Amino acid sequence: MLHLPQLSCKNVTIVYEKEVAVSNVSFDIEEGDYVSVVGENGTGKSSILKAILGLVPLREGTVSFEEGFKKNHIGYLSQQNPMQKEFPASVYEVVLSGCLNSKGLMPFYGKGAKKLVKDTLMKLGMEEYIKKSFAELSGGQKQRVLLARALCSTDKIIFLDEPVTGLDPVAVKEMYGLIEKLNKDMGITIVMVTHDIENALEYSNKILHLTKRGYFFGTKDKYIDSPYAAELDGNAAVRNGD
């Protein structure tokens, strides 16, 4: 039988009002992969994630999931949205909204969804906050709640857009620990946009590095030997030298 990857992007090109954000990028993601998407600002890291999720249109190319994969098998943790800062919602309400697609056409959630919310919050160590107001949580707690919501909507693949930006070092470490647990213990594919190249190299098995001139996609070991890795390291050295 022909083996198909879980997610396959072919010749993806994204254009915003005449400006090319992503040009002719192709890669395959297998089930259970942990892919970090890295690169300088403005190289289209978020754009490519949004294109896979159908949030921005493709100019050229295709994005295809394995056979039988439905859109409601996707989990998504977007960049922090300033509007959510003062949104009146309890942790329970936020996480429950991740179950929306499994609800089908019924107007209300069943017992299964409510149990899933509790179990998921337990897994992420947030069960005591279930009745708290989302707006009043710390940055790290908010991200964990949003991760719980993503987990309620999928057990296959989660896309994360800079999940640790703005978190304190302890929360960053916890977040990486949780994401690794989802990947290793539950077999969930992780695709993460990040600025944090050190942690990307520590946790992921594959790297997608976008630059204005070209891109690298491959295993971590190949990446470390490639000129692309030297480029990011070089930049880090320049920054540290300031």
Partner 1 sequence: MTAIINAVGDMFSYSFITRGVLVGGLVALCASVLGVILVLKRYSMIGDGLSHVGFGAMAIGLAFNMAPLKVAIPVVIAAAFLLLRISENSKIKGDSAIALISSSSVAIGIIINSLSEGTNIDLNSYMFGSILAIGSDDMVICIIMGVSVLVLFLLFYHTIFAITFDESFARATGVKVNIYKSLLSVLTAITIVIGMRIMGTLLISSLIIFPALSAMRISKRFKGVMIISVIISMVCFFWGMVASYMLQIPTGAGIVVSNLIVFIICNIASVIMRK
Interface residues toward partner 1, by CB under 8 A: 50, 53-55, 70-72, 74-76, 78, 81, 83-84, 87-90, 93-94, 96-98, 100-101, 103, 107-109, 133, 135-136, 149-150, 153-154, 159
Q: Which is nearer to partner 1, 79 or 226 (CB)?
A: 79
By beta-carbon proximity to partner 1, the closer residue of 4 and 53 is 53
Nearer to partner 1, 17 or 242 (CB): 17
Rg (CA), the chain: 18
CA atoms within 13 A on the CB side of 187: 5
In the complex, the smallest distance separating the C-beta of residue 24 from partner 1, rounded to whole angstroms, is 24
Provide the 3-class DSSP secondary structure of residue 36. Answer: strand
DSSP assignments along 85-119, one per residue: GG---BHHHHHHGGGGGGGTT-SS--HHHHHHHHH
| Residue closer to partner 1 (CB basis): 4 or 100 | 100
- In whole angstroms, the minimum distance from the beta carbon of 152 to partner 1 comes to 10
Shortest distance (Å) from residue 175 CB to partner 1: 18
Distance in Å, CB of 93 to partner 1, minimum:
5
Q: Which of 144, 151, 157, 143 is nearest to 74 (CA)?
A: 157
Counting every residue written for the chain, the total comes to 242
DSSP codes joined into one string, 162-205 = STTTT--HHHHHHHHHHHHHHHHHH--EEEEE-S-HHHHHHH-S
CB of 116 to partner 1, least distance (A): 14
Q: Is the dihedral of CA 151, 194, 204, 7 positive or negative?
A: positive
The pair of three-digit structure tokens given for residue 34, joined into one six-digit string: 């942990």
137, with CB counted inside 10 A (0-12, 13-18, 19+), is middle
Which residue's CB is nearer to partner 1, number 131 or number 239?
A: 131
CB of 160 to partner 1, least distance (A): 12
Q: Which is nearer to partner 1, 137 or 201 (CB)?
A: 137
